[in-house]
């Protein structure tokens, strides 16, 4: 009976290599940065009156 002993292969890793996809904004902005508060305020605005009054 043969045993399948596969060889372990490690991929080269370069910390400075370019990314395939750009990082998300969430990853780029520090958790304690003030823009997060501004973003939360804007997300919680009630825009119904503005949306219904626009042509």
Query: Is residue 30 in some structural domain?
Result: yes
Q: How many helices (H) and strands (E) does the chain have?
A: 3, 0
By residue range, what is the domain housing residue 39? 24-55
Query: Is residue 6 in some structural domain?
Result: no
| pLDDT confidence bin for 44, thresholds 50/70/90 | very high
For residue 5, count other CB atoms closer than 10 A to its CB. Answer: 6
Using one digit for the tens of pLDDT, what is the confidence trace for 5-36?
Answer: 778 787 777 777 777 787 888 888 899 999 99
Compute the distance between CA of residue 39 and CA of residue 31 in angstroms, rounded to an integer. 12
Query: Is residue 12 in some structural domain?
Result: no
- How many domains is the chain partitioned into structurally? 1
Query: Is residue 47 in some structural domain?
Result: yes
For residue 28, count other CB atoms closer than 10 A to its CB. Answer: 9
Query: Is residue 15 in some structural domain?
Result: no
Does the global pTM surpass 0.75?
Answer: no
DSSP 12-28: P--TTPPPSSPPPHHHH
pLDDT at 39 over 70: yes
């Amino acid at each position: 009976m043969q045993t399948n002993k596969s060889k372990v292969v490690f991929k080269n890793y370069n910390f400075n290599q370019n990314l395939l996809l750009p990082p998300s904004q969430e990853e780029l902005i520090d958790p304690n940065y003030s823009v997060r508060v501004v973003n939360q305020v804007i997300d919680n605005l009630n825009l119904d009156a503005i949306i219904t009054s626009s042509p």
